[in-house]
Structure 1
């Protein structure tokens, strides 16, 4: 993967992380950087799984994007479940 492709994956991952945060319940206690990190991991994992199952082509793929968003929702939900809750004193 070239530098431009890697940069695009990071930006797309950040957007996917935000989408995952909007769709996942119980996400209030997560910091933004962790949301973006979960989105980046979901973007790479979703692309890998889409290629593994033959759902990704050479360009943009609806199924790969759908899989990425689904994995971001799952990732944000799992991280939010295990991330310590903020206490307001």
Structure 2
């Protein structure tokens, strides 16, 4: 992954985090900064997974990669919200 790909993943990750939070039903009692961090991490992991399965370089919009990233962000938000709810 090139440096521009990392910066793009970070910017997209901020959006992915918000979409992941919207994908999880109910109220999440986590701060917005944690949602954004989860989104960035999910975007980077989703990009690596997409590269591993060979769907990272498709013509047009990489829908499979975006779905992977949003799914990972939703999973991360759900885990973080569940962990904070137990405290």
TM-score tier after normalising by the smaller chain length: 0.7 to 0.9
Tell me the residue number matched to 2:63.
Answer: 62
With structure 2 as the length reference, what TM-score do the two structures score? 0.85
Q: CA deviation at 1:28?
A: 2.5
Q: CA deviation at 1:19?
A: 0.2
Change over 3 Å in CA distance of 1:36–1:20 after alignment to 2: same
Segments of structure 2 that go 5 or more residues without pairing to the other structure are none
Q: CA deviation at 1:7?
A: 2.5
Tell me the residue number matched to 1:35.
Answer: 35
- SS at 1:83's partner residue? helix
With structure 1 as the length reference, what TM-score do the two structures score? 0.83
| Structure with the largest fraction of helix | 2
Number of positions where the alignment pairs a residue of Structure 1 with one of Structure 2: 85
The CA RMSD measured in Å over matched residues stands at: 2.0
Larger Rg: 1
